[in-house]
């Protein structure tokens, strides 16, 4: 690590603390040398842990976008309306308020530098949600990242935030560069820097020489690649922490670190495949049950480190806490006004009394859910695919929401001692003090506790279903001032008919070939008027026509083989609430399918081709 530059003259410390929130991606609970992992080298995170109040019973959500929604809002991800990691379920609804908005309004400089994953279109991006300085990292490019929104529309390829800004080198270091620049620019005012890394999410790609280092230590090739990627992130985090010291900001900066969910044991790319049982055992020193996407401990437990030198005394605590607690804790520590009366209810509480040793937290129950991919029994595979796509024939989010109920849900409730895990009709109660690995169901020994937790869990979930919309589709804003056109991703449709299924890139796209297949999008018209319509789709043969209807207006065109297709112009009325794309096939039953990516609406005067 290069020597730190000479320290500048000390600036006057702001009266309110700064915040640095560091989030890793898919890092397991024991992917730290301080947790007894015999291969992982994480010296900077180990040092941070030693300087922090480390929560050993801290809970996040089972996957990426849900944890981010809970972090940003202080509300359970299912309560906010986020319900998945793709398919439109990863858009934080526009009605939600983020901690960045609250802190910005209280005079903080705010930044999001790294992975966003709570919306991919204008209106949902970090710059629209309270963050004044933004760097978006492509998912999941660990070297030479493009730093634009993944699967950016081709027709907007030179328009921010879709424009390619590829920077050579390790992504974690480029994020550190931007974080350091933000710290230097805002050292004389209170700031909140949100630094969510894309490491150690698959693919596990790192410099060969670093991978070889871990192979020589005795790691398999895949585990070596994983821990090489982890070491790169640890080094980059250390650079940012060093800059706090250099700028003499560390004493007044609250640093938080945690992962977004539990470990993943498979990877794609160069080292594609699954870790061996021996590798998994290396990662799971604590022998936690489950992994990412699970509501067992291995899927939802993460270390939480909170450092504030001189204010928070370093030690470990086993008091239960949850990712929804971060929002109210930040607001409380900043001295910002509490949410106004009538605001959306927070699920989290402030950890300030515990952190500052000024009191204890009330006894409480934490609640959580697995991902709620709608109607999984109806998932279908695309031709040539062996794995069923979560976006399948017959998607109807309104119908799926109506079918959601406590009986078929997978949920958990956690008190300081007990944890109830409900997967459909099956319920298990675990004594977490005696059985942290969740091996033995003790519901027979503790029937009253099991019944009480079941009742409170049912009340929690039914309250969510009664007051919010866990399966809502994102609103596509048409004519939003300053936005580079409206973008509608096909896998964010509210309803699909015909033979729409996920293609080889099902997380971002769909394919169809049946005449009359439709995709319906929820829209909000900000500025009515005439718009140019461009369809981005891989059309493999002649014989197709595409049409877009918005309100009582329709435009259509024949689709020639290719990827970018002009559908003409359409007069979008102010009262339109949905847009419907229809695929027609002109009598060629054996015609290859069409793979859909985006519909882009541009002002009719746009000359971009």
Q: Tokens at residue 383, please?
A: 């031709």
Q: How far apart are CA 423 and CA 271, in angstroms?
A: 33
- Burial (CB < 10 A; 0-12, 13-18, 19+), residue 198, is buried
Q: Per-block average pLDDT, block size 10, for the chain (609 residues)?
A: 36 72 98 97 98 98 97 96 88 95 97 96 94 96 93 87 92 98 98 98 96 97 98 98 98 98 96 97 97 97 98 98 98 90 87 97 96 57 55 71 88 98 96 98 98 98 84 90 85 87 73 90 94 94 93 94 95 95 76 83 60
Domains located in the chain, CATH noted:
18-369 (3.40.720.10), 376-467 (3.30.1120), 476-603 (2.60.120.260)
Q: How far apart are CA 60 and CA 324, in angstroms?
A: 8
User: How would DSSP label each residue in 133-148?
Assistant: EEEEPPTT-SBS---S
pLDDT of residue 10: 39
Q: Cβ(586)–Cβ(564) under 8 Å?
A: no
Phi/psi zone of residue 357: left (φ > 0), alpha (ψ -120 to 50 degrees), beta?
left
Angle between helix 221-246 and 43-50 (nearest 10):
50
Q: How far apart are CA 510 and CA 518, in angstroms?
A: 12
pLDDT of residue 484: 72
The angle at the Cα of 95, spanning 91 to 96, to the nearest 5 degrees, equals: 70
pLDDT of residue 6: 36
Q: How far apart are CA 292 and CA 296, in angstroms?
A: 9
pLDDT of residue 609: 35
Helix (H) or strand (E) holding 183: helix 171-185
Residue corresponding to tokens 């060969």: 208
Q: How far apart are CA 578 and CA 554, in angstroms?
A: 12
Model confidence pTM above 0.85: yes
Q: How far apart are CA 383 and CA 501, in angstroms?
A: 9
pLDDT of residue 472: 84
Torsion sign over Cα 324, 325, 330, 331: positive
Angle between helix 208-216 and 221-246 (nearest 10):
110
pLDDT of residue 441: 98
């Amino acid at each position: 690590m290069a020597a730190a530059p000479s320290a500048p003259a000390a600036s006057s410390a702001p009266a309110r603390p700064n915040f640095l929130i560091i989030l890793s991606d898919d890092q397991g609970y024991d992917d730290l040398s301080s947790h007894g992992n015999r291969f992982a080298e994480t010296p900077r995170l180990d040092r941070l842990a030693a300087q922090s109040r480390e929560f050993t019973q801290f809970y996040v959500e089972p996957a990426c976008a849900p944890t981010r929604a809970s972090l940003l809002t202080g509300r359970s991800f299912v309560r906010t309306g986020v319900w998945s990691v793709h398919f439109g379920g990863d858009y934080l609804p526009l009605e939600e308020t983020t901690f960045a908005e609250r802190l910005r309004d209280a005079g903080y400089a705010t930044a999001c530098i790294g992975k966003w994953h709570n919306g991919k279109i204008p209106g949902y991006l970090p710059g629209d949600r309270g963050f004044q300085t933004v760097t978006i990292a492509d998912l999941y490019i660990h070297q030479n990242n493009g730093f634009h929104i993944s699967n950016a529309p081709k027709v907007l390829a030179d328009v921010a935030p879709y424009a390619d800004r590829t920077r050579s080198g390790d992504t974690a270091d480029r994020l550190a560069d931007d974080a350091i620049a933000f710290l230097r620019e805002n050292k004389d005012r209170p700031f909140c820097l949100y630094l969510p890394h894309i490491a150690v999410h698959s693919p596990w790609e790192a410099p060969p020489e670093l991978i070889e280092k871990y192979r020589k230590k005795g790691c398999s090739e895949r585990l070596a690649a994983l821990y090489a990627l982890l070491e790169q992130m640890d080094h980059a985090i250390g650079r940012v922490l060093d800059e706090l010291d250099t700028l003499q900001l560390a004493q007044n900066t609250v640093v938080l670190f945690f992962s977004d969910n539990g470990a993943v044991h498979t990877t794609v790319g160069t080292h594609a495949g699954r870790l061996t049982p021996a590798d998994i055992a290396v990662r799971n020193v604590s022998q936690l049950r489950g992994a990412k996407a699970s509501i067992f401990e291995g899927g939802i437990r993460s270390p939480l480190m909170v450092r504030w030198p001189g204010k928070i005394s370093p030690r470990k605590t086993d008091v239960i806490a949850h990712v929804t607690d971060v929002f109210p804790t930040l607001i409380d520590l900043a001295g910002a006004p509490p949410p106004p009366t009538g605001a959306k209810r927070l699920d989290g509480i402030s950890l300030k009394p515990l952190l500052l040793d000024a009191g204890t937290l009330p006894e409480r129950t934490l609640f959580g859910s697995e991902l709620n991919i709608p109607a999984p029994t109806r998932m279908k595979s695309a031709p040539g695919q062996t794995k069923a796509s979560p976006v399948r024939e017959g998607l109807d989010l309104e119908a799926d929401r109506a079918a959601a109920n406590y009986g078929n849900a997978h949920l958990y409730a956690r008190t300081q001692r007990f944890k109830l895990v409900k997967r459909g009709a099956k319920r298990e109660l675990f004594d977490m003090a005696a059985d942290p690995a969740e091996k033995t169901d003790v519901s027979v020994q503790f029937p009253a506790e099991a019944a009480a937790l079941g009742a409170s869990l049912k009340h929690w979930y039914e309250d969510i279903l009664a007051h919010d919309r866990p399966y809502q589709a994102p609103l596509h804003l048409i004519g939003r001032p300053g936005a580079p056109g409206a973008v509608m991703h096909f896998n964010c449709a509210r309803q699909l008919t015909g033979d729409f299924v996920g293609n080889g890139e099902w997380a971002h796209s769909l394919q169809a070939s049946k005449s009359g297949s439709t995709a319906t999008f929820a829209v909000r018209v900000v500025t009515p008027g005439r718009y140019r319509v461009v369809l981005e789709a891989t059309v493999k043969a002649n014989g197709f026509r595409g049409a877009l209807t918005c309100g009582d207006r329709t435009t259509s065109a024949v689709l020639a083989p290719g990827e970018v297709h002009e559908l003409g112009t359409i007069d979008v009325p102010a009262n339109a609430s949905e847009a419907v794309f229809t695929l027609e096939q002109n009598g060629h039953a054996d015609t290859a399918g069409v793979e859909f990516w985006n519909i882009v609406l541009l002002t009719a005067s746009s000359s971009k081709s």
